[in-house]
A and B are shown apart, each in its own frame.
Chain A
Amino acid sequence: QSALAQPRSVSGSPGQSVTISCTGTSSDVAPYRYVSWYQQHPDKAPKLMIYDVSKRPSGVPDRFFGSKSGNTASLTISGLQAEDEADYYCCSYAGSYTWVFGGGTKLTVL
């Protein structure tokens, strides 16, 4: 199991949109609609932002949008706000009750 590939960093100005990609393989992202995304602020526990590719838990703003095509999933954040600055991790189910995380992406709001 290798980590899913994410860009190390992305940035955007307040109000703009950014997209974070997450590339896996035919063993994890591709065959399942079980990609989730987690937001982690410094020295805090991760927080679930998107699950099952595109579903949002209660309380997560609709500015957060998830999608998937083939072995690549994406998280798009629109209307960037200062509080969105954080690390973001994708995670994919890999079968047989195993999971794999992405390497993480640092989002900077300029």
Chain B
Amino acid sequence: QLVQSGAEVKKPGESLKISCKGSGYTFTNSWIAWVRQMPGKGLEWMGIIYPDDSDTRYSPSFQGQVIISVDKSISTAYLQWSSPKASDTAMYYCARAPDDSRHFDYWGQGTLVTVSS
């Protein structure tokens, strides 16, 4: 399963990092993706990382806006912002894509991020 960190409330410009911990499978053998869902809106694919070698890909819409990283020693992937904006307020999900697959079979419970002054 994937277990995400708790809700965050930040002021604009305060750095932010949320996490997604995998368990019950070989963490290094599956990709971990991040997906944004703004209030009342649809799912948006942000990017993905392969924990074994930290190979990371980003959607053009999110490239340069966030950083995806991983610490495979503790089976945890991260999504971080250096200077969040109010427009980053959203629910963020992590999801697993098993190696050699092209779909997301398990999802975290979501982390609600609120950025407000």
Which residues of A line the B interface, CB within 8 A?
Answer: 1, 3, 32, 34, 36, 38, 40, 45-48, 51-52, 57, 87, 89, 91, 93, 96-104
B84 contacts the other chain (CB 8 A): no
Chain B contributes a number of interface residues (CB within 8 A of A) equal to 24
| Cross-interface CB contact of A98 among B45, B101, B104, cutoff 8 Å | B45
Task: List residues of chain B with CB within 8 A of the CB of A1.
Answer: 59-61
Is the Cβ of A38 less than 8 Å from the Cβ of B45? no
Is the Cβ of B105 less than 8 Å from the Cβ of A57? yes
Is the Cβ of A89 less than 8 Å from the Cβ of B57? no
Task: List residues of chain B with CB within 8 A of the CB of A52.
Answer: 102-103
Is the Cβ of A48 less than 8 Å from the Cβ of B42? no
Which residues of B line the A interface, CB within 8 A?
Answer: 31, 33, 35, 42-45, 48, 55, 57, 59-61, 93, 95, 101-105, 107-110
